[in-house]
Structure 1
Amino acid sequence: MTAYPLRVKQIHAGSEVLDEVERWYSTPDVSQWMDGFKFSKYFKSKLGTSEDVGDEFRLDALAWIGFDADECPVAFVGGEIRVPRMTSTSKSHDANVSPKVQGPQTFGFIYAVAKGYRRRGYGTRTLAAVLASPSLHDVDVFSCHIDAANKASLQLIRGLDRFTETRAAGNKLHFQYERPSIRRHDR
């Protein structure tokens, strides 16, 4: 396979490239797999924030874009780092306070590749770069759910042999990668 040039960059709230990625998620070929997920409602408002979310605490919401040689956005990976709520010390976000983590941090993520750029390795290489990102250094578990009929996404995630696959609710498959422990947790 030809290795097309790729530059992966972490992006932040307000980045103009999010408008382009939002268009990808609104097309039928991507939205059919997203179970009503609204990209603008989530990524445009939640990047860089933390908060209580049900029985968990979101430590951060993060996103990356893969750019081709012409600086066109070709791939997206985004998600959030969560820990069980009982491990957090604060219910509101304060940039100067980090919740006390006593258990594993999990990065639940989604990804997409722009139409016209698929089957060139952009998605796999973008996701591999994200998994190695310094921003995710403290993450223990990487996790995503994929519809069993979404052949392209299944091929991408299965191409990264570190993920284990299990059946989830409905027609979903759960993929998880537990990074070798980088620190000891009080469990």
Structure 2
Amino acid sequence: MCKKERDEARSQGIDDYAYLCRLAQKVPAGSSGLYFLPYLMGERTMGSADSRGCYIGMSMDKEIGHFIRALLEGVALEFKRTLDVFEDSGNSIHAVYHSGGGAKGDLWNQIKADIYEKPIYTLQADEGGVLGVSLMAAYAVGIIGDLIEGADAVVKVKKVYEPERNNFAVYREMKEVFSELHDTLQTPFRHMARVQEKFGK
């Protein structure tokens, strides 16, 4: 997908991802009713390993920007379901910190803030996992005496994305449909997996 857009971006000296996000930015919140279930490698939270990625709600009026925005929204909606599990268990989440590829791009971070209804903080360090392991190693060998103080010294916020209340209503309704699609498709996903095993992928 998006080979034409990739070539256009490269001909203009623009990052592929940034170019696609420009197209998605032109589409309103909710992608005009297009949904993406992001289970390209199965699902590891509240479904099965047989789950697969799919677009639902395609129609003749959808353009590539709709598909890109729906993809970004679909991943965020899936994460929102996970956040809800934590909060429903009595844990309060006031903000979400992102690093690495998930923190790339203003549009996706704003979508996540609007869907989570919480501020998104991106970090100056691109690789949070590597930074965390380095801090633990420094603590283990005695270079730093306290992990929290060490983290405070090196973990710096790059940018904050505040949720836009105007998008709450559409994303709340989208989440209901997304969850319904997820739950309804579990049986067909399992059946589809059996057919793939039987007749080849």
TM-score, normalization: structure 1?
0.29
The structure that is helix-richer by fraction is: 2
The structure that is strand-richer by fraction is: 1
TM-score, normalization: structure 2?
0.28
Bigger Cα Rg? 2
